[in-house]
Amino acid sequence: MIDGLLAADVVDGIRTRPLTEMRNLRLQCAAVESDVSMARRLAQGRLDIVIHEGRRRSAGDGVAGLLYDLPDILADEAGPSRTPGSRPDVRVDAPGEVGSELVDRLEAIASPTVLSGVQHLEQGQLDELFGRISEFEQQLSTTRRALHERIDAIQAEIGRRYRDGEATVDSVLNADD
């Protein structure tokens, strides 16, 4: 489903597509974007744990420090993997099919079991884990941006149709009649 929405030609010809098709496409993009965003937030939380473990090692803190700091790591609005203010309050819906697939991919990279034993990883393993999670998060970020571009293009076309009189509110209200 993601590949179809990310295809270069997905918004080609939007000026001639029916309004209902445009709305459905916008809804599909928004649902997938929500799933991608949810998976990205999970990846960022896992990155935060790995980053904190690296910092803990550098500072010479004991494992108890990681466990003690875990609630703050996961609750911090500007965790180590994000810039301050980059994470707005969001509503998280149950993941759709795409979200479930992305979470499965993230679990294969960094399962809760791996994260619960992060203090036992050798430094090379910790660095590799960081790299794999970071790469996955970057892929999700790129996908999310592309979906936003499509949503914006579709929304702009729908807005243009209303502004230019090609679509009316009455036609939407009477569409089910």
DSSP of the chain, one letter per residue? -HHHHHSTTTTTTTTTS-HHHHHHHHHHHHHHHHHHHHHHHHHHHHHHHHHHHHHHHHHT--HHHHHHHHHHHHH-TT-TTS-TT-S-----PPP-HHHHHHHHHHHHHS-HHHHHTGGGS-HHHHHHHHHHHHHHHHHHHHHHHHHHHHHHHHHHHHHHHHHTTSS-HHHHHTTT-
pLDDT digits (tens, 9 = 90+) for 20-45: 999 999 999 999 999 999 999 999 99
* Annotated domain spans of the chain: 2-6+17-85+94-173
Q: Which residue has the higher pLDDT, 135 or 166?
A: 135
pTM above 0.75, yes or no: yes
pLDDT digits (tens, 9 = 90+) for 123-165: 999 999 999 999 999 999 999 999 999 999 999 999 999 999 8
Residue 62 confidence class, pLDDT cut points 50, 70, 90: low
